[in-house]
Structure 1
Amino acid sequence: MEIRLLGAVELYRDGVRVELGRRQERCVLGLLALDTGQIIDAGRLISRVWNDRPPESARAALQTLIARLRGRLTAEHPVILTRGSGYLIDIPPEQVDLHRFTAAVAAAQKDPDPASRSATIARALTTWRGPLLAGAAEGPLFARLNAGLKDQFLLAHELYAEAELATGHHHQVLKTLPDLLAQHPGRERTAALLMRARYEAGDIAGALSAFDTTRRYLADELGLDPGAELVALQRALLNREGSADSPVLLQPPRPAAATLPLPRQLPPDVRGFVGRKAELEALDHLLTPDGQRPATAIVVSAIAGTAGVGKTTLAVHWAHRLTDRYPDGTLYTNLQGFDPTGMVTTADEALHGFLDALGVAAQQVPPTLRAKTALYRSLLAQRRMLVVLDNARDAEHVRPLLPGSPGCLVIITSRYKLTGLVAAEGAQPLELGLLDHTESLRLLAGRLGEARVRAEPQAVEEIVTGCAGLPLALALVAAQAASHPQIPLQRLASELRSAPRPLDAFSSDDTPTDARAVFSWSYAALSPGAAELFCRLGLHPGAAISARAAASLDGIEPARARALLTELVRAHLVMHESPDRYTSHDLLRAYSRELAGGGDPAGNDRTVDRLVDHYLHTAHVADRLLDPHRDHIVLPEPVPGAVAEPLGSHDEALRWYVTEHAELLAVFGLACARRLDRVVWQLAWSLGNYFERQGHWEVWTETLTAGLLAAERLGDRAAQARCLRSLARASARLGDHQRSLSYLDGALKLYADLGDEVGEAYVHLNLNVILSDLRRYDHSLSCAQQALTLYEKAGHQAGLALALNALGWCHAQLGNPAAALEHCQRSLDLHQRIGHTAGEADTWDSVGYAYRAMGDLPHAAAAYRQALGLFHELGDRYNQATAHICVGDIEQACGRTTEARQSWISALAILRELSHPDTEAVRARLAPRGSDVAPPPADHEALSRRRAARWVTPRHT
């Protein structure tokens, strides 16, 4: 019998492949074969197979899958055995390709004979068919399983290359190592081996090029110099000192982190762009003036602050022409500086989005505007990037968004001239006027066709005159004419001419623009359903809306809403922001608000109720997907006509939160203004997990404060306790531990009055975290014990597991590692039984710390590696970094300097990405001996004290 896990999961019996069933069946077989002879708890299998979202019948389904596999594995004795609450597969490890591969790598590392070593690795590499459990494991499980195995795969190639070089077969090495180094430029061992191979082939320049590849990567991405061994090898090559056999890296490094993503955020270019030739030439000249450096900022502003003149269209079109000149990416944000509702995108919010696009983990985005600006400018330094800041309010609005690097170009649009920016920052102004007569005719001809325009020259002249060169107005008229080819243009010109007074925002002494005529005429030409939807869009407080949100607003089916939105898109009253998401010009939103304001107040109230329920119920679903182990609230049924988004996974939930961030805040503000108190506190709770993980801690505090006030007005003491608990967490994130303790004191009193012992346990566990962070370990231990007692009394298994880990951590800090391990082992057993991955990861970290305190470094390293794999699965970047640091420290203590260095490099890459203060401690570890860099902290506890708090949200079980 043979089980193959490297690639697709396959089963062979007597050399014949046995067909396996669905993905879940292959996943169960793969998970059991990963740990032959080891009992795997049924709960853990269920959690892994169904990605933490098991069906109600999961246990029965697992039993069915086990039964099917037993039938396929028929042999002289049972192969899959039931042991307690779990299962094991009883086969020798050598019957599984993965175990043969890892055993071969381990054997090769100990084999002194290079020829034998090469043969062993060559055989092992033939078993590699692809990623582990391909097509069977999904999502985080797949990522976690393959994270560590990739190291083994790279190590195997390096061992093979080293053995082939030792036997004089450098040509074999040159077949594989160039691609490996290109994919992993931070692996110093790979670079050294490729340098040796090229040297042996007589390619000195190629050998030095390999060194330069790794040197540039380490310098540009991590701010590091190459290690001493690699530098010595480069010097030997430069000096032609004998063969390049020595020095060479002997220990396998850890892989470096991936490079930053390449953002491409520009909206689509305008189809059929016409005119603005003079402006485009002026912009091109400003960019490359004779004998001068490229300008760092270009301001595109409208005459007299007129809106709808085509600033965004011109800026985006010009930016698309320049993308090849800025190879490091493009950033774009709509600052909404003149949004009629006042929902302006602040510089702080825009920077948060830019940092996210640049690869900074959101939970580590700095809390202050100044710190965000500093990080943003650091990331753009030495890069050539194009930044478009659309609809700026004034100079102060955009100053924090200006890069400090002259290699970047910033294009700013605003209704104002931004003279302060021109004077202080040297921005180059361009005043964008209305289209002239010729350009207006070209725009109409481009939309309607030359023949139709020539057929009615007098009507065309009237339309051009009536639109007064305003591109937005011309586009609306053209859209209506194109949609109704049977209507003469003269009729359209007559209706435009007889329309009522212009929109106030488009009025000026010098511009006889009648935009309201265009808007009202377009509105009147809509079908009744589309007109009703456009009117109700005026009750939406945000700038963009999804099809389902629009359906909820109108109380119709999503498919019907999409059809009506398509009609509005054709009429140029809304536009696609992205698939299934729509937006419109701020003046059009103002017009729809005018229409909505004249509607039935009671009908408007029902519309708003449906809208807020759409966002509340979607946020509730998203919150459950983001953290299935949280103690979730129960919502009443949504009002008739409200439909939530159909989210089905953690990734979909997170994308929805990020996409709807501004709209969620706008709707939250609407609920507050209308005193919808139940919605206010429930929405604040449902947004909290997202705000915490994404680093929006100030906004989190503001929404929770409003939620607490709403709960107090309702007299809902349970809701008040929840809000106080979360406010304590938000305050601790912001570094205000005393305020956090005050909030927890209030929550504890409320839970005590309510007789909610599980709620009290939550508070005690949170107190344990804060007191431990304050190094008050005796008091922290007492809180953890109180939480344990209450969870035991309530039979709350998830809480019990977390409390046991908290006790273990406290005992470790107090110098009782044996007691710590006892509590942590019980915690691990429980976490694995209920499938609580985050709790298990945290507990492995505690185990590693306890073993390290005992001086048992091998077990400590193994525990930290377990934690590292789980943190990777969870996407917990900071804790991945601390686990890398701990592994590196242990490798260094064991004398494995090269392995230690690569672990620290991996940690440094993450911490730089997160802009975390621990970066300098890791950089100190990597500094050459005798440098001026301060020594690193003596132990892991120094880093642990600065960790993000180990907040807990166990589910009720």
Structure 2
Amino acid sequence: MAAEFRLLGGVGVDIDGRPADIGHARQQCVLVALLVDVNQTVSVDQLVDRVWGERPPLRAIGTLHSYVTRLRRALADAKDVAIVRRSGGYAISVDDMLTVDVRLFGHLLTQARAAPDPDRAAALFAQALALWRGDALTGLDSSWAATVREGLARQRAAAELEHTDLRLRLGQHAELVAELFTRASEHPLDERVASQLMLALYRTGRQAEALAHYQGIRALLAEELGADPGADLHQLHQQILTADPLIATPAASARQSPPPVAPRQLPAPPVWFTGRDKELTALTAALTAGEGPGGTVAISAIGGSGGIGKTGLALHWAHQHIDEFPDGQLHVNLRGFDPTEPPTQPAVAVRGFLDALGVVGNAMPADPDARAAMYRSVVAGKRMLIVLDNAADSTHVVPLLPGSPTCTVLVTSRDRLAGLVAAHGARPLPLDVLSEAEARTLLATRLGAGRLAAEPDAVAELLACCGGFPLALSILAGRATAHPEFPLAELAAELRDATTRLGALDEGDPAASLPAVLSWSYAALKPDQAAVFGLLGLAPGPDISVPAAGSLTDLPAGRVRAALRALERVSLLQQDVPGRYRMHDLVRLYAVEQAGRDQSKQNRDAALRRLTDFYVHTAHAGDGFLNPYASPIDIGQPAPGCHPQPLDDGAAALAWFDAEHPNLLAAQQSAAEQGWHQSVWQVAWALTGFHWLRGHLHDDVTVCRAGLAAAGHLDNPTVLAMAHGRLGLACARASRHAEAVEQLQRALALAEQAGDLPNQAYIHWALAQALVLQGEDRRALEHATHALNLFQAFDNPAWHARALNLVGWNEAHLGDYDQARAHCEAALALYEGHPDREGEAGTLDSLGYIAHHSGRHAHALDYYDQALTRWLDLGYTYYEANTLDQLGQTHVALGDHDQARAVWQRALKLYQDQHRTADTARIQERLDALGDGGAPAAPPGS
């Protein structure tokens, strides 16, 4: 069944001629939000913004998903339509986009404006306007819907005016009079409507009424606006007064077409253009996509921060394809972010285009709308390229768009031009930094490969400091070219210090100064956006989430989202992952400078404290899910204005840690630099469980070492003992055995000195783990037994079970398999009444080991499979690797070498990812011995 979508009036859908139930207004808004970008992905953030604006409900994303589900049900019978989930959002896939009346409206207008025959053009305009059944999107109340509604209303009004002009040319003045009287009453100050009514009245022999209408609008303009009628309307009045024959008949009044010209306005291409192959290919693809019957204007919106190379890309591509635009190329610098001059107004740009196209001054209308219509008429049907450089936003561009699909438009802007993409089908082309290879090529092109080869270390440092930023690289290349005798190492030394790096990229000329270029974007921000930008520069870590930014800035979720979107819109931030924002390092340095200038030290310190507490408190809540049986610590209350992120379960906690891990490491380092010792220790404590589960063993040693250093400042023996214990266990897992035992023994001594029996039990348990990793099974068993006795005394079933398992594991390593099995089975029985999936999985792994070494290989496979199922469910890759390692040995014992090879390859990958070099080498040896099917040498102890 075919579906037809109606947006030009009340929102509705017909499937095979019958209306579909698409729900209430908010659900309809979701459908409309997808339909205006039909067959394109709309991100979840965009959908939330379009449906609810700056005040989304608490569970907006969940509500959105439910609306999508209902819409899918409503559209289920339409075989040519599907709402599909794509990376980061949704798209509505429609086989024929012209079944969406908004798309059909635009398509018909494009055909009408390109039609050489006036009768055909008028018929197409009439067909397009007949699609309207009232105000667009009737019943939808979101701010986004209102914006779209206004844009569509403007398109409708423009089409009505163009249609009326055509009908007047075709001699339909009598039929138009009544319609124009109605339109003039609705738009009493519109001079173009007034001129159309006056002309229609004059041509139907009603000269006096035409002159009276002129006097009426003249008086109204004076009263309402304090202005006189424009030149066009005044001229028409004079022509009616004198019965000018030029307006007597349609044929006489028709404008003569301007003489054909082929303007060549493109500036020269950039001399040192490098790379951008993917972007150049995308621009060419956009050109091709706009060709053919029913095609639309090919508009490519190149977005990115100042100095990223947008203009260079546009001009390079334009000159590469100049032969494809035989009717000429137009170019204007719209100066949307120029601090020295105001933005170029669209009306001024249109006047310049008409001049270049050969329209003489006395033939050019004074009215901006009429002038824009003439511009569209002149370029209609021509193969022209129009480059609109440095636009401020979408509204800056729309009046300059041609109506003919034969034209191609390139727009560059620091703004994302979302309106241009949504309403005019522009293809966004976000521009990021150059790759390292492209950046190196740029320097080599400017400086010569020999000079780079002579100082490879300096070149590597220069590339790292510039981070692929084209303007920064060009400034450096310019400085190096100006002083060919200076070593590149001197430039590298100047850039090495982050506090002076921006100064080294400032040549005094605004066009060759990265701080100046960034300042142009900064100057366009509202005060609250500028404040958020400065604070974001202070945030440690490579990116920041919306909840973290809320705590950093002490702003509600709606306001911080709006500020982040505003900064992204002008390309001071990038959102590579939905809901996560990053800054280029050089932009971050500029942001820090602005924060230092505009914010007091007290405000900056308070913001950083709120963010640090956000990470500390959210991490501790997450650790409670991942490591529920760890000894609790008191972390106090977060700073005022800090709002830790709620986490619902272990899966949410693990996902949060995965996403925030680099930021947590950076936050701990930042807290250490600030002397916030309590926070440093608390981050270390909260991260350890995650590190073990994901196999981040060396990171764990680093954070635990920092935590121990911080604990030394806290004058708290219990905390110090716990910090020594955590570092000891971290060292044990990272194969730093001597340091592991030393740290754990210090921890035990402190716990014994304090009479802290629970901590003593935990440290004995940790010592047993460390010693068994060293192969000291007898000593390990002694500590495991001691831990077991203490945990039994505390009536702690979960740790009692873990200690039973550890005793059994050590007994198995000593060859006492019967006793080992008894202890491990007792642990498994305890877990039945006191669930602990991690402990249960570890015990199943132990029982697998015991069964394997007892010759019960089938039982071993079963135990290992059960353990693996739990590790995979929990996401505990550290333990998963260990179990796979042992499972491979059981497969070998059973003669199943293919299965052994498969599981050892999985283990090898995990060991490599976790940087466990000794384990990696051991597994690789086993795989090498296994070869292509031969039996391997038996592993030790098999």
Q: Which TM-score applies when normalising by structure 1? A: 0.46
So what's the TM-score if we normalise by structure 2? 0.47
Q: Which has the larger radius of gyration?
A: 2
| Higher RCO (CA 8 Å, separation ≥ 6 residues) | 1
